[in-house]
Structure 1
Amino acid sequence: MLLSKAWEAFESDKRIEGFSPQTLKAYRLQLSLLIEYFKDIEITTLDTIQLKEYLAISGKHLKPASLAHRIRFLKSLFRWSHEEGNILKNPAAKIKEPKVGKRIPKYLTEMEIELLREACHLPIEKAIFELMFSTGCRIGEIVSLEKNHINWSNRSAIVRGKGDKEREVYFNIRCDIWLKRYMDSRTDNDPAIFVTERHPHIMSVAQMRYIIKRISNRAGINKEIHPHQLRHSYATHLLNNGAPIEVIQSLLGHEKSETTRIYAQLSGRLRKEYYQKYF
């Protein structure tokens, strides 16, 4: 089976399993790099030594996290190929990922949050910002929200996260007000919560990123703002107000508690900053 044919079957299976479009898009890029290096050869002809050489040469200038991502793709593709009986032995089974140090998430201060809030001029900008910050949702979860996913009576929404798993998130009164004002300003019948301004249809992740960038440019904050920083800021805000790690884990939709516990390190760093400032 050619690499391209193996990918087609692999992608179909993973889509059925619930892999996100973003993950499959990233894996598709990795496949193109693999084929660019080896050409579209029979998957059975590749062995462990060849894969290690590929990683050493193609990953020479990659950061450990990027190299780890490339290795995860190889391990996933070849493990699937072995389980499907397309290859007799998995050549990626013993390839190990590089150690990646856990990075402290970049969060926004209360001042920065207020500056961003003040820089929201249009109802759609206010609605997107408030929903992102008050729910801590990933940008992909926000763009896929539909009107019937909102429960206005208790200010909650059902979002579909990683692995196609659903969870309930909550938003505050400020978000409720701006979300309703934005919805009332629309004249289209599209089921999506957020739609494009021209010829309304569901907004893409790239279009929503552009709106956040537009807001941050107006705010004049001297650093680059990413939508995921609102999620980190939400988690940090909860932690600093005494929310247990288990509750934050559930609200964020983290599968592993280790992923959430990194915010505890962040909180510890904040305590140190306060100590140095006031003692």
Structure 2
Amino acid sequence: MDAMTLQTQAERFLAELKRSPHTVRAYRADLRHLITWLDEMGHPLNGPGLDAYFAAHAQWAASTRNRKQTALERFCRWALQRELLDRDPTLHLERPSLPPPHPRGLRREEIERIFAEIPAEQARDALLFRLVFETGLRIGEALGAHVEDLDLTRGDEHLTVVGKGNRKRTVLLDDPRLVNLLRRYLRTLGYTHGPLFQATKNGRGGPLRYQSVQERWQGYTKRAGVICTLHQLRHSHATELVNGGVSLATIRKRLGHQHIQTTLRYAEVSDQTTDAEVRKWRRQR
């Protein structure tokens, strides 16, 4: 196909594309850029032509190339189905690896809005979710905690958990409200050994399943009007620590990261925190 025919078929493809207007606009821009470049360089829409196209734009970020490649792959599959192409020229293209997304934490006031929606009689839920938020535990670590893993010695309250790779670590329970919730909750339990958080289905205790916890959390976030996943509670705790000036080495140990590179993903602190740190340094000179 020549450039004019390619552009016409691309518009047909976009007209049939069932995607948001924003996605259609992005695909249109990406396909026009490709078709114009191929025409100017004298390359057909084939494997070598695409190799030359992406090689000429090696400066693109991985996310940009991924987006453009997705638009191109979908167009080529569409054209192949309509026998406009003999073969799919995108099959040999490799996807660039994307860096893991930067963890997004929520502000404390947003989390507290969700907690405010938990009924007073749901003490187990209130404790579980606050424990994850105030300690940065993985939800699986919290659900796997046992009563006997707790040490509530006054002034040295902590919890021993088993994390990834079956590695044990001790997590300080330094939030007074969390410790008070724990003490009150333990007084209501009819047992002193076993899972800290048990299901109460049909009046019988049993392991509390992640799916049940997820459903309850989604209900509370919906009532609060706040979008927040369970894992974002952990992210929010880590973000608070970073913005509070806690060292990455300490945060790594508290969160149970095996590699410091994982913890470094939280190192983007807010401008306000950065400004405060610079002012403090300036005063001490």
TM range (shorter): 0.5 to 0.7
4+ long deviations beyond 4 Å = 272-275
Q: Distance in 2 between matches of 1:132 and 1:273?
A: 24
Q: How many corresponding residue pairs?
A: 176
Q: Distance in 2 between matches of 1:165 and 1:188?
A: 26
Q: Distance in 1 between matches of 2:134 and 2:258?
A: 21
Give the aligned residue type for 1:116.
I
Q: Distance in 2 between matches of 1:119 and 1:136?
A: 21
Q: Does 1:132 align with 2:137?
A: no
Consecutive unaligned residues in structure 1, runs of 5 or more = 1-63, 65-95
Whether the aligned pair in 2 keeps the contact of 1:134 and 1:170 (CA below 8 Å) is no
Q: Distance in 1 between matches of 2:217 and 2:127?
A: 11
Question: Structure 1-normalised TM-score?
Answer: 0.58
Aligned to 1:80: none
Give the aligned residue type for 1:228.
H
Q: How do residues 128-167 of structure 1 correspond to structure 2 at under 5 angstroms?
A: 128-153=128-153, 154-167=156-169
Consecutive unaligned residues in structure 2, runs of 5 or more = 1-65, 67-93, 276-285
Question: Structure 2-normalised TM-score?
Answer: 0.57
Q: 1:179 aligns with which of 178, 182, 204?
A: 182
Give the aligned residue type for 1:150.
L
**CA distance 1:97–1:130, change in 2 (3 Å):** same
**SS, match of residue 263 in structure 1:** coil
Q: 2:171 aligns with which of 169, 176, 191?
A: 169
Q: How do residues 174-253 of structure 1 correspond to structure 2 at under 5 angstroms?
A: 174-187=177-190, 191-198=194-201, 199-221=204-226, 223=227, 225-253=228-256
Q: Distance in 1 between matches of 2:246 and 2:273?
A: 20
In the TM superposition, residue 231 of structure 1 has moved relative to its aligned partner by: 0.4
Aligned to 1:89: none
**SS, match of residue 145 in structure 1:** coil
Query: Among the aligned pairs, what percent are the same residue?
Result: 27
Q: Distance in 1 between matches of 2:219 and 2:180?
A: 22
Q: Distance in 1 between matches of 2:191 and 2:168?
A: 27
Q: Distance in 1 between matches of 2:272 and 2:139?
A: 31
| RMSD of aligned Cα (Å) | 2.3
Whether the aligned pair in 1 keeps the contact of 2:148 and 2:192 (CA below 8 Å) is no
Whether the aligned pair in 2 keeps the contact of 1:107 and 1:233 (CA below 8 Å) is yes
Give the aligned residue type for 1:227.
L
In the TM superposition, residue 98 of structure 1 has moved relative to its aligned partner by: 4.8
Aligned to 1:119: 117
Q: Which has the larger radius of gyration?
A: 2
Whether the aligned pair in 2 keeps the contact of 1:190 and 1:201 (CA below 8 Å) is no
**CA distance 1:247–1:226, change in 2 (3 Å):** same
Q: How do residues 100-119 of structure 1 correspond to structure 2 at under 5 angstroms?
A: 100-119=98-117
Aligned to 1:255: 258
Whether the aligned pair in 2 keeps the contact of 1:125 and 1:215 (CA below 8 Å) is no
Q: How do residues 58-69 of structure 1 correspond to structure 2 at under 5 angstroms?
A: none
In the TM superposition, residue 188 of structure 1 has moved relative to its aligned partner by: 5.3
Whether the aligned pair in 1 keeps the contact of 2:117 and 2:220 (CA below 8 Å) is yes
